[in-house]
Amino acid sequence: MLKKLKFHPGVWIIFFVILSILGTLVVRGNKYCELVGEYNSYDYKKCFIGSDEYNVKNNQFEAIGEDPKLIFDFTKIDNTGVSGIVLKLKDEIKLSDVQVYYGFDGQNYSEATSRQFSKGKSKNIEITSLQKFQFLRIDIDTDFEITGLEISKDVTVKKVSNIENYILVFVCSLIIAFLLSLINNINDFITRIIKVINLYCGKIKKKKWLIMGTVFLVVIEFVAVVIFEKLMSSGHEHINEPRLLSVFGMIFVVSVSVLYRKYILKYIHLYFLVILMVIGSVHIIATPPITGTSFDDEIHYSRSAYVSWLCSGEFSNADYMIQNYYGALYEREVYSFEGRSEWVKDINGRYDSYGNGVLITDVKSGNEFSWCYVAYVPTAMALAIGRGLGLSFTYTFMLGKFANLLLYGIMFAISIYLIKSKGKILLALIGLIPTSVFMACSYSYDWWLIGCAVLGYSIFFSTLQQGKTFSVKKYLLITGILVLGILTKAVYFPLLLPMMVLKKDKYQNSKLCRMITVFAIIFLISTFITPILFGTKEGDSRGGEGIDAMGQVSFILTNPLQYSKILLNFIKTYISLEEAHKYLTYMAYLGQLQYTRMCILILGVAGVIDNRKNLVKDKCYKIRKIIFFFSAFATVVLVATALYVSYTPVGHHTINGCQPRYLLPMFFPLIYYFGDIGLDVSNQIKNSFTNIAICIMSLIFLYGTYTQLAIFY
């Protein structure tokens, strides 16, 4: 075995440079400052002014209510307030039981400036802030005894040396790069990529006039739009940048579609990626840098930031504030130029109080690990790299969204490239569904699930289209990609079932491949069954009152016919085309877009004409079609049931919280199978349809960005 290993110096250099740069940026983007001060001991009773829901005896406090609290007044020590305290206790307590509310200006406490500690135990509760606080409310949900109090009137920023982390990154990069350089497949893959790049470069050289014409056209377009925007904004103090970008994006999409109309179908994967990045970038820049624009994006950002800080539980002040300020979007406070400028100045000021990229991590948050965190890794890396590059908070915040958009685009572009005879057009159009693009431009994990589902099925369909057998390696790759995506919402595990319905001669090792699927399904089921069996009984509190997960499970088991009726009535409405606007052209809290029927028509036509009469079909094709139908139906049932258990009051007549966008991961295989009517359409018609359809889908999204964001700027 060792004799087969061969060292590839080129691979070693490439990976060493990449890993070193990324590692250095991630280390630099993590905690490299802390708040320090000179602390002096005080009698805590001098500034302690009261408590609530505690039995107090001497210095012992027994929590007796649901919301116990201590109140301290530090104006008795210093009129201007203090910057740091250390509350000393006799015994260790869980830090997750502690919540702190700052009173910067009297006893005006706010969730936006509160502090939740991370996991762990300690005898000391240390609380610091760059801004002096006069009052402090400390909620400790357990019994404790105070032994002392230390106070610092001023704290300063002290840089923490990270030299050992840089050395660790260098050594790890060296070792990992060396191990990767011994793998022949990686060397072959890189060689293939270099050949493809050289091939495309050669084609570009032959068509210099086309490239130069494109650049010239883009420049002319941008200049024309800038002049147009200045005329539109005459009499105003600012240019409406979101409107400028939206109009430019529309003109760019139309121009490229016309200029490259003959090459669209041949290079559809590249065309898709370029168009997606343009329209997605316009949307990201036009959207205010704040949470509250997409579904639960304050939660998704919190988790992404948590991972970006290497799961230390520490956040910057700006990270914590942006999770708690999203309500302002409902009043459109930050849509306008003035509101957005004020917000950007405020949030960047909190992030970089001293300038020069000083990062303060004095706010902590207790996040619990979940398998869905795998979807946050790309976003987290972008956030850490943004901090490492010294970008402002708002630019770093947007960089996280760009990372999501880029990876989503790459997964779809690779999928389009891999599909050989049927599905290319369909994939490009599914990837441009306005709601899907919107989710890819947001903090979420829907884009991850959609992208992984599409990529896994593309490899699967591509192999079948070419009449090849599934090696164990390829089968593991397909299953692994699907599992990585489904980990975000494990109830999608039935999507793995069609992989098993192939003739034995389609597998190199049928038993092993099918066992891989079985183990993958068992693993996915365990990720959501375990929390139900051993976790909380309450369910998701966002569903309102009456949420009881175990009570709901008991209701389903004791009333199966009644629940079946509730479920089927819900699904009948849920999958109806009348609800299509909620999963095709819906931008969450930004609003509903127009032209849903146009999207339905385009996807329907694409499913029909993106076919070939002589498409290779094995004998299990029809069986697989039926199996997928039941897999998709089972997935919808599981998704709905999961929301009924965790989000709906016990015995309720319908299912709450089941978002129509949950259907999107099933779109590609669903339309691929059921749009197949054996129609054979010429490439010329396909090319023209693809060009027009992609153009229309992109314009619908850009027009939505204009109507939901730009007009309010």
370-429: pLDDT as tens digits:
788 899 999 999 998 988 888 888 899 999 999 999 999 999 999 999 998 788 999 999
570-595: pLDDT as tens digits:
999 898 888 899 999 999 888 899 89
14-39: pLDDT as tens digits:
889 999 988 888 888 776 667 788 89
Q: Residue 543: is its pLDDT beyond 70?
A: no
495-513: pLDDT as tens digits:
999 888 888 888 888 899 9
Split at pLDDT 50, 70, 90, the class of 536 is very low
| CB 293, CB 589: distance < 8 Å | yes
Tell me the angle at which helices 596-609 and 683-708 cross, rounded to the nearest 10 degrees: 160
Residue 315 DSSP class: E
Using alpha carbons, select from 203, 178, 39, 242 the residue that is nearest to residue 195. 203
- pLDDT of the residue at 330: 54
Cα angle, residue 314 at apex, residues 309 and 316 outer, rounded to 5°? 90
Split at pLDDT 50, 70, 90, the class of 139 is very high
Residue range 611-636: mean pLDDT, rounded? 77
Sign of the torsion angle spanned by Cα atoms 43, 48, 54, 57: positive
Average pLDDT, the chain: 84
- pLDDT of the residue at 441: 95
- pLDDT of the residue at 449: 95
* Radius of gyration in angstroms for the set of CA atoms belonging to the chain, rounded to a whole number: 28
Q: Which residue has the higher pLDDT, 120 or 165?
A: 165
- pLDDT of the residue at 220: 80
Distance CA(430)–CA(432), nearest Å, equals 5
- pLDDT of the residue at 154: 85
- pLDDT of the residue at 354: 43
Split at pLDDT 50, 70, 90, the class of 619 is low
| CB 388, CB 340: distance < 8 Å | no
Split at pLDDT 50, 70, 90, the class of 355 is very low
- pLDDT of the residue at 366: 46
Sign of the torsion angle spanned by Cα atoms 571, 609, 606, 418: positive
Distance CA(675)–CA(688), nearest Å, equals 19
Using alpha carbons, select from 400, 390, 311, 403 the residue that is nearest to residue 28. 390
For 614, phi then psi, to 5°, come to: -95, 30
SS3 of residue 685 by DSSP: helix
Distance CA(492)–CA(452), nearest Å, equals 12
Residue 368 DSSP class: P
Identify the CATH number of the domain defined by range 36-159: 2.60.120.260
653-692: pLDDT as tens digits:
888 888 899 999 999 998 888 877 767 778 888 889 999 9
483: CB partners within 8 A, 6+ apart: 496, 520, 523, 524
Q: Which residue has the higher pLDDT, 3 or 271?
A: 271
- pLDDT of the residue at 541: 47
Q: Where are the beta strands (DSSP E) in 536-583?
A: none
Residue range 608-613: mean pLDDT, rounded? 77
Split at pLDDT 50, 70, 90, the class of 318 is confident
- pLDDT of the residue at 4: 65
Split at pLDDT 50, 70, 90, the class of 515 is very high
| Nearest-10 Cα torsion for 85, 90, 91, 95 | -10
pTM equals 0.86
SS3 of residue 332 by DSSP: coil
Q: Which residue has the higher pLDDT, 357 or 434?
A: 434
Domain segments of the chain as ranges: 1-32+163-206, 36-159, 207-286, 297-402, 422-681
- 51: its two tokens: 């408590």
- pLDDT of the residue at 86: 92
Residue range 326-338: mean pLDDT, rounded? 67
Residue range 128-146: mean pLDDT, rounded? 89
Regarding beta strands 363-364 and 144-152, do their DSSP bridges make them parallel or antiparallel, or are they unpaired? unpaired
SS3 of residue 437 by DSSP: helix
Q: Which residue has the higher pLDDT, 294 or 317?
A: 294
Q: Residue 160: is its pLDDT beyond 50?
A: yes
Q: Residue 290: is its pLDDT beyond 60?
A: yes
- pLDDT of the residue at 430: 96
Q: What stretches of 146-290 show up as alpha helix (H) in DSSP? A: 163-181, 184-206, 208-232, 241-259, 268-286
261: CB partners within 8 A, 6+ apart: 687, 688, 691
Quote the longest CA-to-CA distance of the chain. Answer: 88
